[in-house]
Amino acid sequence: MNKIEGGVTAPKGFMAASTAAGIKYENREDMAMVYSKEPCVCAGTFTSNVVKAACVQWDMELVNSGEKMHAVVVNSGIANACTGEEGFAACRKTAEAVNRCLSVPASSVAVASTGVIGMQLPVDKIEAGVEAMSEKLGDGLEDGTKASKAIMTTDTVNKEIAVSFEIGGQTVTLGGMSKGSGMIHPNMCTMLAFLTTDINIEKTLMQEALKEVVQDTFNMITVDGDTSTNDTLMLMANGLAGNPLISKKNKDYEVFKENLFDVCRYLARKMAADGEGASKLFEAKVVNAKSKEDARTLSRAIVASNLSKAAIYGCDANFGRFLCAMGYSGAEFDQNDVELFFVSEAGKMQVFDHGTPIVFDEEQAVKILSCEEVMILVDMHEGTAQATAFGCDLTHEYVTINADYRS
Amino acid sequence: MNKIEGGVTAPKGFMAASTAAGIKYENREDMAMVYSKEPCVCAGTFTSNVVKAACVQWDMELVNSGEKMHAVVVNSGIANACTGEEGFAACRKTAEAVNRCLSVPASSVAVASTGVIGMQLPVDKIEAGVEAMSEKLGDGLEDGTKASKAIMTTDTVNKEIAVSFEIGGQTVTLGGMSKGSGMIHPNMCTMLAFLTTDINIEKTLMQEALKEVVQDTFNMITVDGDTSTNDTLMLMANGLAGNPLISKKNKDYEVFKENLFDVCRYLARKMAADGEGASKLFEAKVVNAKSKEDARTLSRAIVASNLSKAAIYGCDANFGRFLCAMGYSGAEFDQNDVELFFVSEAGKMQVFDHGTPIVFDEEQAVKILSCEEVMILVDMHEGTAQATAFGCDLTHEYVTINADYRS
């Protein structure tokens, strides 16, 4: 991965802006816009929750329609979910405001919201925000950074990345930003993520690549087991890199997909590590599983378990909780085949060996579990499939944040 | 329900004892035994976790064998799960100790453990405990109460109940005790529960009744989404009430099943309210659902959601989290059909009406949510099925307990 400076404004032709629209938060920016004057092919994946926010429904129509895309408008503070007809009208009015300000079709504008469910958006403030941002659009890297900050809710750090790579002798750039730290669970994990690229690619191929990459990146995050109403990942490509159009699964496609994977994985890990109240990144890697699906199921069960998460927080080498989580995950296996290790930059230690606990050095275990990035490595000895899930520990701070989120 | 004093020793012919075996806890009793000199027909339901503790495997064999049962020996502190051959041998040695002391077959003795996973039981201490308890067995109500205290782990209160009812002109008594407050999640929820009765009933019918009753009682509890390796519910019936043998699904059977339901529901609610770190009982009742399965799925998703649980802790009327949980539960529905209410002894308040949020009095909502027992009532307007799930709030104390459980 050739990481470069910047985020969504790193690729050619993308601009961003942000503003303090006063939707919910005070003394900070709470709206962002990403814009490409050149029309973009777009791809997206969305929450699997049957209660979908109005904006998710709006964006799904845009992606499915085959329409070209010019912009996405995002607000933090209110999720525009469970808001009935009025919520859907708010999406339309937001897009129409962009149409008035930037002369692109309202149908080319995506909208996204994150925050409290069951509250109506103040449409006048949203419209004023769109007007203000339309005048502030800039293609500087700092414009992208400011946008990545404006979409935060309980996030403690903004998340952005950009990479570049060569295709057909042309430099292609791919940038992204994401947010989300509570209501995070696979399919989709709770999050908003927006990726931009100047690559020249066919829409259907791009959608296919995104869908595939999401399985092992964003969909492997879990913070609290709650799959949000608003999860949205969108990718816009305006073609300005000038590479020969990618229209089949050739080597160029593979290069793109690899870079897309790296960007999504980077953002996914950042989001997991910044899960609500988290003090650590908590990963579970399952190797030699019977099938890819089993590997995913098992690794996610480990990082999703409250008891596992609390043990990681307390640096408590209570490995039985990981085995217990695997046991109720739904995957079939025999505990007598399993080996279990703790891994971090402080070392690697085996704690369970084919059905039997290993007597281990508690002090060394605490040292390993005290690192900022901790991994549980599980060898199933059943096959060749593997998967890694990304999560975080469960802390007092998580409870504090969520016991009184709305006020 | 005709509740009477006592627990497992309330029915005729049942004795109990407890002792401080020094397995893990200091300054408290940590072993219990329940015993019937008369042989009992027995029934049981066990964890669905594929990683089953040694004792669970032992008890499943006993229940499935058709063997008569005389006793159950329980220890708290160590779960005897993920302990391989050595763990299974510990079960056999425990049963053999009972055989030596009380002259009942080792194969008539059930064993149960709760506590840390992945640690071997100190068999010498267990055997000494069995010897001590065999000499202390008593049929007083206080003997049952002491047993119910000895099986506690992070429970803050012991749970026991007894009821009596008439069958064929005879008074039948049914008693029970249970424990369990972490690793609690349906199928089976994490728990140990032991029921005793002097009813005269056929084994297969008793098993059927138990299995049916569990669905809407113990299996509707969730504390933290973690289905334990050790969940065990056993019911022993020694026939001493002298009622005509229940051998078909007649009115006597129904009376028994109703009382069994009441006892299980009572213990289930007590366990939910005493979930690790809990400050409240948090129930979700779903009515007018398409199917019983949907009603169960939806109600469990609500009480299992960390975000819902944290909101209940904070008395935060953030009803969107309940809808969100329903949305990812797996049940299909249209949010435009749904009505949602907060209910407690302080009142009932509607917050969501067919897809649209209702403007409600925040102060009154806080009043309702501040009670010790809080219910979310959901009307699906889709059918006639209903179910209630039992849970608790997610508190700072939960994290404290579980961040350092082993020490």
Contact present, B226 and B185 (Cβ < 8 Å):
yes
Record: contact B316-A405, CB cut-off 8 A: yes
pLDDT of A275 reads 81
User: Which of B234, B268, B252 lies closest to B390 in space, CA to CA?
Assistant: B268
Record: contact A324-B228, CB cut-off 8 A: yes
Residue stretches of chain B with pLDDT short of 70: 181-190, 223-227, 404-407
Chain B residue numbers touching A313 (CB-CB < 8 A):
399, 403
pLDDT of B186 reads 44
Distances (CA, A) of B141 to A90, B12, B131: 65, 11, 21
Q: To which residue do tokens 């969501």 refer? A: B352
The whole-angstrom distance between B29's CA and the closest CA on chain A is 24
Chain A residue numbers touching B331 (CB-CB < 8 A):
50
Distance CA B339, CA B351 (A): 8
- Phi, psi torsion values for A19, nearest 5 degrees: -160, 160
Which residues have CB under 8 Å from A29's CB, separation 6+?
A: A18, A19, A20, A146, A149, A150
Q: Is A305 on the interface with B (CB under 8 A)?
A: yes
Distance CA A59, CA A232 (A): 9
pLDDT of B188 reads 43
Catalytic residues of A: 190
Chain B residue numbers touching A185 (CB-CB < 8 A):
328
C-alpha count within 13 angstroms, C-beta hemisphere, residue A33: 32
Within 249-288 of A, beta carbons closer than 8 Å to B belong to none
pLDDT of B229 reads 79
Contact present, A75 and A23 (Cβ < 8 Å):
yes
User: Which of B389, B400, B200, B139 lies closest to B282 in space, CA to CA?
Assistant: B389
Q: Is B348 on the interface with A (CB under 8 A)?
A: no
DSSP string, B233-256: EEEEE--TT-PPPB-SSSHHHHHH
pLDDT tens profile B264-314? 999 999 888 888 888 999 999 999 999 999 999 999 999 988 888 989 999
The whole-angstrom distance between B70's CA and the closest CA on chain A is 30
Distance of CA B233 to the CA centre of its chain: 7
Q: Is A81 on the interface with B (CB under 8 A)?
A: yes
Contact present, B184 and B226 (Cβ < 8 Å):
yes
User: From the first residue on, what is the mean pLDDT of each consecutive set of 10 residues in chain A (407 residues)?
Assistant: 95 98 91 97 89 92 94 94 93 98 97 90 97 98 97 89 95 93 52 94 96 90 70 93 96 96 92 86 96 94 89 90 89 94 96 92 94 96 95 86 65
User: Which of A266, A249, A186, A263 lies closest to A219 in space, CA to CA?
Assistant: A186
Record: contact B49-A182, CB cut-off 8 A: no
Q: B190, B197, B229, B232: which is the annotated catalytic residue?
A: B190
Q: Is A298 on the interface with B (CB under 8 A)?
A: no
Instruction: Indicate the DSSP class of residue A202.
Output: -
Bridge partners of A72? A34, A110
pLDDT of B40 reads 97
pLDDT of A36 reads 97
Answer positive or negative: Cα dihedral of A288, A291, A296, A297.
Answer: negative
pLDDT tens profile B115-152? 888 899 999 999 999 999 999 999 999 999 999 999 99
pLDDT of B189 reads 45
Q: Is A318 on the interface with B (CB under 8 A)?
A: yes
Record: contact B229-A357, CB cut-off 8 A: no
Contact present, B187 and B110 (Cβ < 8 Å):
no
Record: contact B226-A81, CB cut-off 8 A: no
Within 97-136 of B, beta carbons closer than 8 Å to A belong to 116-120
pLDDT of A407 reads 44
pLDDT of A224 reads 58
Bridge partners of B138? B16
pLDDT of A196 reads 97
| ipTM tops the 0.90 cut | no
Q: Tokens standing for B93? A: 């040695």
Record: contact A50-B328, CB cut-off 8 A: yes
